[in-house]
């Protein structure tokens, strides 16, 4: 019984890093802006964009959405992505291309 409990504790500790990756950072989309428009994170962290605007928006990486792209996000909908590699990732809204943002992973 005691051994069983130790195993459970080990499993809980092992799960911690993955759990910490969930919803590490949030970017709010509102009034045709990404806020914050520039965000610096660490590798392995997750970014969630949530649309709080009344208009639909998307999140497309600057390489025309090759690296990442969301579906059209209606009000209240969100899109999440874990950034594993370091680098600077520009993105924009394909519906309103003047809406732009940057994720810096380092
Ligand atoms: Cu938009």
pLDDT digits (tens, 9 = 90+) for 64-82: 999 999 999 999 999 999 9
Average of pLDDT values for 71-98? 98
Q: Kindly list the domain boundaries of the chain, sorted by start residue.
A: 21-105
**Beta-ladder partners of 22:** none
Superfamily of domain 21-105: Cupredoxins -  blue copper proteins (2.60.40.420)
C-alpha 3 – ligand 1 centre gap (Å)? 54
Angstrom CA distances, 79 to 8, 12, 51, 95, 100, stand at: 32, 27, 9, 15, 16
pLDDT band at residue 23, thresholds of 50, 70 and 90?
low
| Sign of CA pseudo-dihedral 104, 54, 66, 46 | positive
Q: Residue 11 C-alpha to ligand 1 middle, in angstroms? A: 42
Provide the 3-class DSSP secondary structure of residue 34.
strand
| 85 Cα–ligand 1 center, Å | 26
Confidence of residue 32 (pLDDT cuts 50, 70, 90): very high
- Confidence class of residue 22 from pLDDT cuts 50, 70 and 90? low
Report the separation in Å between the CA atom of 26 and the middle of ligand 1, taken as the mean of its atom positions: 17
Going from the Cα of 15 to the center of ligand 1, the distance in angstroms, rounded, reads 36
């Amino acid at each position: 019984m005691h051994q069983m409990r130790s195993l459970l504790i080990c499993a809980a500790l092992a799960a911690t890093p993955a759990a910490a990756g969930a919803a590490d950072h949030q970017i709010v989309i509102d009034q045709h802006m990404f806020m914050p428009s520039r965000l610096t994170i660490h590798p392995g962290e997750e970014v969630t964009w949530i649309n709080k605007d009344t208009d639909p928006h998307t999140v497309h990486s600057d390489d025309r959405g090759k690296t990442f792209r969301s579906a059209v996000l209606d009000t209240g909908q969100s899109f999440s992505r874990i950034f594993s590699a370091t680098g600077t990732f520009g993105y924009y809204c394909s519906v309103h291309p003047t809406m732009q943002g940057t994720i810096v992973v380092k």
